[in-house]
Structures are given as C-alpha cells and as structure tokens.
Structure 1
Amino acid sequence: MPASRSGRALAVQPAKAVDATDGIRQHRLAALLVDMVPGARIIRVSQHQPSQTWPSPYTRAYDERGQPIPLNRTQRVAAARWVIRAFPEANWDETRDLDLTSGTLRPAAEACARSDGGR
C-alpha cells in the first residue's frame, strides 16, 4: 500500500458500483433496434398493449417526423423486452421513449409536452 506524507498507509476507498459499459450497451441496443426497424428514430415502450387489460410488453416505432412505423408482433414484443431489460432501473408503470440517435430513455409524457410547446 502506498504511504501518505504522514507515513501512514492510505485507507482503502470502496469501489463505486458504476458500470462503465452502460453507455456502450445503450448505444448497442439502439443500433440493434435501428437494424430491426429501419427508419425508426423513437421506440415507445410500455407494459400494456392497448387492446389488453393485463400487462404485456408493447412497442411502437416513430420516424424522424413522428409518423408511426408499422411493426409486426415479433418486432413489438422483442423490442419491448430488449429495452425493458436494458433499463431495469426505469419505472415501467409509465410509457417510455428510447431515442435511437442518442440511446437515451425518457418518459413519453415528457416527449409529448415538448411537441405540444410545453403544455
């Protein structure tokens, strides 16, 4: 152990529980989703499919103009599961948007407020 100026050994600092690969994983996930859904800019993920009352992973995709991109059932479920697993700390009781250009996840209500001019 290195000694300090006083001649005593320095105390061991606890390791921080920060994963240095978190940002890399988010960008890799975004790249995989872009390959899965060409032309998509935003992936909106929720735990509730609109036609069901029980929880079920569900995804909607939007292009850069905010127009919906049609997805088949496999794409909807797989993309939702990937995003939910990549962001386990998020509160999945509310719908979230994944920006595929930056890899950031934000509440969908926040995105709607910005598009409405902050209302």
Structure 2
Amino acid sequence: MPASRSGRALAAQPAKAVEPADGTRQHRLAVLLTDMVPGARIIRVSQHQPSQTWPSPYTRAYDERGQPMPLNRTQRVAAARWVIRAFPEANWDEAHDLDLATGTLRPTAGPRAHSDGGR
C-alpha cells in the first residue's frame, strides 16, 4: 500500500461505479442530471439559446411545481449535450423535456417551449 505524506498507509476507498446492467441509459442520465441540478424535476433541452440566432445547446430546469430554476452556463451546456447525445433519434429542431423521475423524453408542447427568457 502506498504511504501518504504523514507516513501512514492510505486506505482504499470503494469506487462508486455505475453498472451497465443497472437500469437503462436514459435512467442513468436522469440520475446524473438530478445530482447536477438538485431539486430539478424537468430538464428542457433545445438547440436554440434565447439570446442567440445560431444553434447552440441550451437547457432550462424546472422544479416539481414547474418553476424555473437557475443554472450556470456550464450546467446549461453540459446537460444539453448529455441529453442530445443520449437521445440522438430525437428531432432537436424543437425543444424536448426530460422527466428526471422516469428518464422519459418528450417533445415540449405549449407556449413555454420557446417563450421563456431562459436562465
């Protein structure tokens, strides 16, 4: 066992591994996003950031009451990329909602899909 600076041996820490057979890929993604955005219930992903005219991965998060949650830029871009890569068959010309409780992705319907100002 390697020694630390104090001279004592370091104890091995058990690794937290995600087993490939545990749940579906989409469910594992939902678990990771729940850890990234605590309190979020729905993640809305689109290719169009409200302040830009060119395509750019963008995410909005909503809590269980449907209220928007603040996300920093890293969270917005990383979450959007993860979801887009996990669901390549989706039509990303329109926004989609990922339900973090079930891992289900569905197209966004209604006026809130493109009209909320983001953040």
- TM bracket, shorter-chain basis: 0.7 to 0.9
* Shift of residue 111, structure 1, vs aligned partner: 9.7
SS of corresponding position for 1:102? coil
Map of 1:89 onto structure 2: 89
Aligned AA (2:79): A
Map of 2:10 onto structure 1: none
Map of 1:79 onto structure 2: 79
Residue 63 to residue 111, structure 1, CA distance change in 2 (3 Å): farther
Map of 1:58 onto structure 2: 58
User: Percent of aligned positions with the same letter in both sequences?
Assistant: 86
Map of 1:47 onto structure 2: 47
SS of corresponding position for 1:33? helix
Question: Which structure: greater helix fraction?
Answer: 1
Q: Distance in 2 between matches of 1:40 and 1:110?
A: 20
Question: If you compute each CA radius of gyration, which structure gives the higher value, 1 or 2?
Answer: 1
SS of corresponding position for 2:32? helix
Aligned AA (1:82): W
- TM-score, normalising length: structure 1: 0.73
* Shift of residue 80, structure 1, vs aligned partner: 0.1
Q: Distance in 2 between matches of 1:24 and 1:36?
A: 19
Q: Distance in 2 between matches of 1:66 and 1:109?
A: 14
Aligned AA (2:45): V
Unaligned stretches of 5+ in structure 1? Answer: 1-20, 113-119
Runs of 4+ in 1 over 2 A off after TM superposition: none
Q: Between Structure 1 and Structure 2, how many residues are aligned?
A: 91
| Alpha-carbon RMSD | 1.7
